[in-house]
Amino acid sequence: MTQLHTPKASRNQETGRLSFMGSVSPAVVRFRDRGGEGDGTSRRVPGTFSVVPAPMKQTVRRTLLVTSATLASLALTAPASLAAPSPSPSPAASGSPSASVSPSTSPSGSASPSVTPPANMSSVGGTRLGQAGTQVAIAGGAPVLPKDLTARSWIVADAESGDVLAAHNAHWRLPPASTMKMLFADTVLPRFPKTTVHKVEAKDLAGMGAGSSLVGIKEGETYTVHDLWLGVFLRSGNDAVHVLSQMNGGIAETVKDMNEHAEELQALDTNVVSPDGYDAPHQVSSAYDLTLFARSGLQKQDFREYCSTVTAKFPGETTKKKGKTSRGTFEIQNTNRLLSGDYDISQYPGIAGVKNGNTTNAGATFTGVAERNGKVLLVTVMNPEKTDHNEVYKETAALLDWGFQAAGKVTPVGELVAPRGTAQASSQPGANPSASEGSGQAGGAGDVSAKPVAGAVTESGSGGMWIALAITGGLLVLLAGGGYLVNRRWPLPDLVRRRR
């Protein structure tokens, strides 16, 4: 979302794109203007480019026979001190523009962002990720990191294996801006079929912060859930977030659900106060946590579709003329500049999402996912100090380029952990780790649980213990001799790539 620079209002937000299925956008789209429209940040410059979905291909799923019953036993008895600590989120609910929340506690201290990275941050995903500064282990033949990276925090990770290739202050708790909407979508999207129709009431739009980015929802009009999610992902509309939150039981309930889901994902740096990411005291997340949100969300079909959509038609206001009622539409464009392009930055090859943000407190934030030669990378960048136009996208693109060149040539410095409970659920006979790719019910995500859990993952992240999981059959297989069939990869469904 984009907040205006008003004396007592913070500016909020966005832009992003990587996709894994057919986009809502037309196969070919001509844009009359690049940037500078709606809540964009750039000047209006004529430009034309086409959007063409590339052929989809199935991600290769590999399994490795790697361990033994003895080693598993040792892992189970690992010291409790290695396990990820659990926060104590206590979202209480009331107030405007966001629910009042008692900040959760964590090893990194209070939920208020610090001026400098704390000496001791969370070690979820590995001890090196809890250290301040840049963490990378370059081996022979690996490229050096890009120069002139100015972000306060960033991370480069393999979206499927979970390997963290490099990071900088990965667990620094900072304001997230509208990248928080990834957690909102991952939490709420599975709960409502996309065909559900909702008539907007005044209370649905109450409590939005001054200068909020809006998609243009009007009181008294009806919208489908599909419309509302387009407003969330493309225009980062706080009005769409508030309407969906009211449908979910209210702002306070949604904040509570988001905090619980963050804990479920082991995103322990995160404390949600406002579901739309609008600046609020004690609202924080981290580059590591935002990457977990994106990774979980991308397991869901509709999440992938929405975050990769470049343009769409949005319902306008109902009008009456000569006794006849009519309602037109207007075009909305994704504010993710690596997805849609801008006058000073091209669409990134292979980009498919995910979400951008920008507020006074957070600065520019962005999580993006891209694929190249079968490798899928996630990069999160938070608050570059350099103030050049589209700097957050330029630094993201540089890190993506580096990551694709460095893959297989660097030693991982950590990992993206699996959600809590995933291992236990997958170990039950008949468990299906690919259930999130269902028939499209509940918003097309196919999730039947009110609290979605990301799909096929095999590493618990608690004490670094590997979890036995056979993705192809969805079954836990105990092999002869006490070994486990372990699949390190978290396969992502087919991606939709944008091309010129």
Active site residues: 178, 181, 236
**Residue 372: which of 342, 405, 341 has the closest Cα?**
405
Q: What angle do CA 354, 361, 35 make, to 5 degrees?
A: 50
Q: With 0-12 CB in 10 A as exposed, 13-18 as middle and 19+ as buried, what is 5? A: exposed
Tokens 């037109």 correspond to 328
Instruction: Determine the 3-state secondary structure of 199 from DSSP.
Output: strand
Token code pair at residue 34:
């690049």
Beta bridge partners of 320: 325
Q: What angle do CA 68, 73, 78 make, to 5 degrees?
A: 125
Alpha helices (H) along 265-418: 287-297, 301-307, 337-340, 391-406
Produce one character per residue of 367-401: b if its CB has 16 or more CB atoms within 10 Å, e if not: bbbbbbeebbbbbbbbbbeeeeebbbbbbbbbbbb
Produce one character per residue of 335-355: b if its CB has 16 or more CB atoms within 10 Å, e if not: bbbbbbbbbbbebbbbbbbbb
**Residue 103: which of 117, 119, 114, 92 has the closest Cα?**
92
Token code pair at residue 334:
């994704």
Radius of gyration of the chain (CA): 22
